[in-house]
Amino acid sequence: MKFPAISMLNEVLNRRQCENLFFNFQNGVQALQSITSGHNEVFQKAEEDLYQIVYKAKVLIEDCCREDWCRVAVTQLTNKEAFRELLLDFENCFHTICEISCLYDPAQESKILAIRNDMTFYPTSIDAVKEDQTSICGRFSNHLDSCTTMNCDDCKLVQYLKEYLMSLQHVEGGGLDKIDFPYSYPRPKYTKNPPKVLGKSDNMCVFLTDWLGLESATKVFDIREPKDIDRLWKEASVLGGLNHPNIIKFYCCGFLEVENQFELVMECGKKTLSDHLNEEGPLEETKAVDIILQIANGMCYLHDMKVAHRDLKPGNVVVTIPNDSTLSNLGCIQVKLLDFGISKVDVKDYGELPTGRYIGTCGYMAPEIMANELSEMDALKADVFSFGMLCSDILSAKKRHFGSFREYRKYILEDYRRPKLPKSCSEGLRSMVHDCWSLDPLERPTFLGIHNKLTSLKRLSFLKGVVTIGGALNDTRGSLWKVFFSISMLCFGLLDQTPMVRIQI
């Protein structure tokens, strides 16, 4: 069936990317319905995964359609990775369900394989992404030209975003730590008196704030010496130049000269991964793999951008819980990386001499960082080792304690010991984590290899056995089609266009 053009999307942020995502999902879901419509059984985990992916697509498209577009633009300025990741996730899930269907009904294998082979998922073209960027710039200019009161909040925000978008052009040229942020920016509001503190250290405090109606976390640093300012601008530049679903969103930053403080405003996570693991205890492996895969996705993007995190640990990963009740009941969470204060940018593809000081956190630091001799080291491979230590925390939900740095160094470098993984851990996952722990950095995998391995492990876990769908999962399947139908209605403009479109599922 040929669907009409989506004319309603002319005034939507990232219109071309929304259209492309919708039509790919539309074709994929229709194909899956033709494959699974006659089945009474299917793998439960695959359907749960499909529900989660379609729900995320619904939220993304819904956000792009909101009437308060200038606030939405804060997160949609350069959001191509969110569309790309969703399409890749959907494609992987599509192929998994096809494999399940072949196992479930071998008589239909040739038909299923033909449908699978005919299905192609096309990412948004580079030209279309640029067209979306040009459209956003045009909307900024039109808004400012028509604005009669430049002091209004919307105009201040649009002016800031326009200047910020121009600064981001340096990222494309490799100047990730050289972004020139606008001098003037909309200040956050500290929502309580006294403000709620989310975390603190020697010269820094994180407050819960409100930034133009968005819940935010604001880091406030006390400046003690001039070099502190350079370091903070670097952290802001690294974070401000990144845009990925598994990396915390940057909002704005600035130096407060009168207070002699630096303000860094960003998206607010509900809690750290460390807190989440303490609350939940040992996780089912499929849920653990989902968290690990999200972290690997974020790290894969970072390394593609030639950025080494250098302090990967549970405290530097935040957790957000979806608003959807079905996803909450399924235990689905989204995790995002944060804290790029000691990150290294423009990392070379070959070894570099260490700085002469230990970088990272005791318990997660790679052995070559702790070595006495000044040999070359690879900052990207050091991240992989830290990732392996983080994986052991997620899989065992136990916090490892080392009395001192010397004790940790002896444990890792001299005794060549590694944390024990749970006996229930699958062999494939165990092997991947052990590869990350190799004493030789060259033997550790890349994050692209880790991503591919985890994707395969996730697919294999869905293929372990066929289960009969009970009443609860039938509800999930019904909700899945409701979510997809809601996207259809949204895109075709058949919903009421209220100030903020809200879709009930």
DSSP annotation string for 235-267: HHHHHHT---TTBPPEEEEEEETTTTEEEEEEE
Fold of 271-462: Transferase(Phosphotransferase); domain 1 (1.10.510)
Q: Give, in order, the Cα–Cα distances in Å from 327 to each of 31, 56, 334, 394, 502.
A: 24, 10, 11, 20, 18
Residues facing 317 on adjacent strands: 337
d(CA 462, CA 382): 32
- Residue 481's pLDDT is 54
Residue type, 180: D
Closest CA to 218 of 181, 184, 244, 192: 192
pLDDT, one tens digit for every residue, the chain (505 residues): 333 333 444 578 999 999 999 999 989 988 888 876 555 556 677 888 888 898 899 889 989 988 888 888 998 988 999 999 999 999 999 999 888 888 878 888 899 999 999 999 999 999 999 999 999 999 999 988 888 776 677 888 888 898 888 888 665 655 566 677 888 888 899 877 788 888 887 788 999 999 988 889 999 999 888 888 888 888 888 888 889 999 999 999 988 888 899 999 999 988 899 999 988 888 888 889 999 999 999 999 999 988 889 899 999 999 988 887 778 887 889 999 988 766 776 665 555 544 445 678 888 999 988 876 555 678 899 999 999 999 999 998 776 777 788 898 889 888 888 999 999 899 999 999 999 999 999 999 999 999 999 999 998 888 875 544 333 344 455 555 555 555 555 554 433 343 333 323 3
Enter the tokens of residue 484: 């997809």
- Residue 89's pLDDT is 94
Question: Which distant-in-sequence residues (6+ apart) come within 8 Å of 288 by Cβ?
Answer: 394, 395
Taking residue 200's Cβ as centre, other Cβ atoms within 10 Å add up to 12
**Are 358 and 365 in contact, with CB atoms under 8 Å apart?**
yes
Architecture of domain 189-267: 2-Layer Sandwich (3.30)
- DSSP structure string for 76-130: HTT-HHHHHHHHHHHHHHHHHHHHHHHHH-GGGHHHHHHHHHH---PPPPHHHHH
- Residue 397's pLDDT is 74
Residue type, 3: F
